[in-house]
Amino acid sequence: MAHIKDALGMTDEDFGSRHEVGDEPVPAELPGGLSDTQLTPLAAMVGAENVKTDSYSRLQLAYGKTMADLIRLRKGVVENLPAAVVCPRSRDDVRALVRHCHEARLPITVFGGGTSVTRGVECMRGGISLDMRVHMRRILELNRVNQTVTVEPGIYGPALEEALNRAPQRFGAQHRYTCGHYPQSFEESTVRVWVVTRGAGQGSTYYGKIEQMVRAQHYITPAGELRTEPYPACSMGPDVDQLMIGSEGAYGILVAVTLQIFRHRPESRAYFSYIFPSWEQAVDAARETLQAEVGRPSTFRLSDPEETQVGLKHYGVEGTLLDTAMRMRGYRPGERCLLLGAADGYPTRSALVKRQVGRIARAHGAMSATGWVTRLWEKGRYADPYLRDDLHDYGVILDTLECAAPWDRVMQVWRAVRGYCKARPRTVCMSHMSHVYPQGTNLYFIFAAKMTELEDYLAFQAGILDTIRQSGAALSHHHGIGKMIAPWLPDALGPEQMELLRAIKRHLDPHNIMNPGGTLALDLPESEQRSVDDAG
């Protein structure tokens, strides 16, 4: 907060009064509802109690969590509402609903947890929003032999994790398990959104992205059901699982998924943190760590100088003896970079990985900042997003965009995005890598500025996306595309890949009822597509 206040040139006075806090009462009547003839068959299918048309229910499922959503809510801009909210009780309900909506040409958008930061849940063409969280949140099977769990997609992260951690008590299992997937949205997101957006958790460097964890899926589409088998691997043609993962509700509705799970051994987690003299040396160390075949850490979070400065303040390191020691040894604020991390697995394994990370870090000029800093980060790791609302009370936007790039493009992406943000006066731009691979990394950008108008914000954001695209990075590493990034997708994939995705769409959903209105640019008019020169 202090850094942001300084960087944005704000005074205490600016924090004196809040604006547009958005606590006006919900209007009793909202536009775009369904007629009784439309509602009756829905109620017959799932029960009247599972069809909601009141304003509160409809508004609640309207938006996700990108800054554009927050600004619109505060300004009372109500658009792209579901005409009704439907809570299916089972896959039979979903089957009936998809068949009916296909015939009635009624759009279906699925609501997993509402944590989308890409406008994934918005009902651009009205229709119904399926709320999977109400009933479809059961654990269907814990398979101890295969070490997998099969769940309904509406289960929340904490509910799943708690059941797995307590597997001996809950299922009579011999071991405790973990899902290994802890996105920042963990507390508010469901398995569904992890899968359909190709999400990643904060331990993905070891546990993998969700697309590596999925072992089998069941989707219901207008063209029938796709149900894959839990083979550990196979060689049976194109991978239908990987075609459906990331389809963001535009190809069909996920009704069950089998995920691999892992032994839960919090006691053997080995924490470490290092401070590097410069971003360049830190990036080289990250690359070497992943390429040296020493085993992968689970958490590996490397902050650039600006984020390091904020982080050290935020974690309470600034001004401590550790800080003094770092400064005395030449790790200067504004240049130094903080690496937080941990290794998981069998105790000897996690200890070995920790030692090897340390060896490589020191060879790149780093000194240990102890495991204590990482523990501090871990404690508060799900809390940061909540700060955003408070800041916006005082006219500050705080938002994020993230991408991924091969190692040989990482510095150019980082410089370009940072350069774009910093060209705007009084703008914070912090970044880190948190999902690291032998062949590259993600880059996660957090930006803040004084800004209250939606158009200003959208123009600023579009510039960042242009820059990401131009510098040769993937448009998203784990947030998906949704309707927000969709304008950039055709240019990034090229016309042939886009036509392939559209051909699949036409086959699975010929009437375009599944999350229509721009998702993955499948039905986005050419006039709304955005093209940039690609340096990649």
- Taking CB under 8 A as the criterion, which residues in 454-493 touch its own copies? 472-481, 489, 492-493
Q: Which residue number, 52 or 198, has a Cβ lying nearer to its own copies?
A: 198
Judged by CB under 8 A, the residue of 10, 59, 173, 352 near its own copies is 352
Judged by CB under 8 A, the residue of 319, 438, 453, 459 near its own copies is 438
Judged by CB under 8 A, the residue of 504, 523, 529, 532 near its own copies is 504
Q: What is the amino acid identity at position 361? A: A
Q: Which of 351, 362, 377, 379 is nearest to 275 (CA)?
A: 362
In the window 178-197, what residues touch its own copies (CB under 8 A)?
A: 197
Q: Which of 335, 340, 339 is nearest to 278 (CA)?
A: 335
In the window 59-88, what residues touch its own copies (CB under 8 A)?
A: none
Interface region with its own copies, contact rule CB under 8 A, candidates 185-193, 344-352, 372-380, 384-392: 344-352
Q: Which residue number, 57 or 204, has a Cβ lying nearer to its own copies?
A: 204
Residues 6+ apart with CB under 8 A from 264: 164, 165, 175, 176, 177, 178
**Six-digit token string for 310:** 């904020």
Q: Which residue number, 12 or 293, has a Cβ lying nearer to its own copies?
A: 293
Cβ atoms of 118 and 69 closer than 8 Å: no
In the window 84-123, what residues touch its own copies (CB under 8 A)?
A: none
110/62 Cα distance (integer angstroms)? 11
Cα→Cα distances 387→126, 264, 380, Å: 31, 30, 12
Residues 6+ apart with CB under 8 A from 482: 64, 116, 117, 118, 119, 120, 197, 248, 519
346/267 Cα distance (integer angstroms)? 10
Count residues near its own copies (CB under 8 A). 96
Interface region with its own copies, contact rule CB under 8 A, candidates 15-23, 209-217, 331-339, 370-378: 209-217
In the window 293-312, what residues touch its own copies (CB under 8 A)?
A: 293-295
Cβ atoms of 418 and 38 closer than 8 Å: no
CB of 151 to its own copies, least distance (A): 16
Judged by CB under 8 A, the residue of 38, 356, 452, 512 near its own copies is 356
Cα→Cα distances 360→18, 283, 298, 356, 442, Å: 48, 12, 16, 6, 20
Cα→Cα distances 19→3, 84, 357, 427, Å: 22, 31, 47, 20
Judged by CB under 8 A, the residue of 292, 325, 387, 535 near its own copies is 292
Using the rule CB under 8 A, is 205 a contact of its own copies? no
In the window 218-247, what residues touch its own copies (CB under 8 A)?
A: 221, 223-240, 242-247
CB of 299 to its own copies, least distance (A): 15
Q: Which residue number, 361 or 475, has a Cβ lying nearer to its own copies?
A: 475
Q: What letters, b where the CB count within 10 A reaches 16 and e where it falls short, cover 299-324?
A: bbbbbbbbbbbbbbbbbebeeeebbe
E strand segments, 407-505: 428-433, 436-437, 440-450
CB of 295 to its own copies, least distance (A): 5
380/376 Cα distance (integer angstroms)? 7
Q: Which residue number, 396 or 489, has a Cβ lying nearer to its own copies?
A: 489
Q: Which residue number, 296 or 336, has a Cβ lying nearer to its own copies?
A: 296
475/467 Cα distance (integer angstroms)? 10
In the window 256-285, what residues touch its own copies (CB under 8 A)?
A: 260, 262-263, 265
330/267 Cα distance (integer angstroms)? 34
What is the DSSP secondary structure assignment for residue 354, as one 8-state letter?
H
Judged by CB under 8 A, the residue of 390, 408, 453, 528 near its own copies is 408
CB of 481 to its own copies, least distance (A): 6
φ and ψ at residue 259, rounded to 5 degrees? -115, 145
Cα→Cα distances 456→424, 443, 461, Å: 12, 24, 9
Q: What is the amino acid identity at position 244? A: M
CB of 178 to its own copies, least distance (A): 10
Using the rule CB under 8 A, is 405 a contact of its own copies? yes
Q: Which residue number, 247 or 308, has a Cβ lying nearer to its own copies?
A: 247
Q: Which residue number, 51 or 200, has a Cβ lying nearer to its own copies?
A: 200
CB of 255 to its own copies, least distance (A): 14
Q: Which residue number, 408 or 453, has a Cβ lying nearer to its own copies?
A: 408
Q: Which residue number, 373 or 486, has a Cβ lying nearer to its own copies?
A: 486
CB of 236 to its own copies, least distance (A): 6
In the window 505-534, what residues touch its own copies (CB under 8 A)?
A: 506-508, 520
Using the rule CB under 8 A, is 172 a contact of its own copies? no
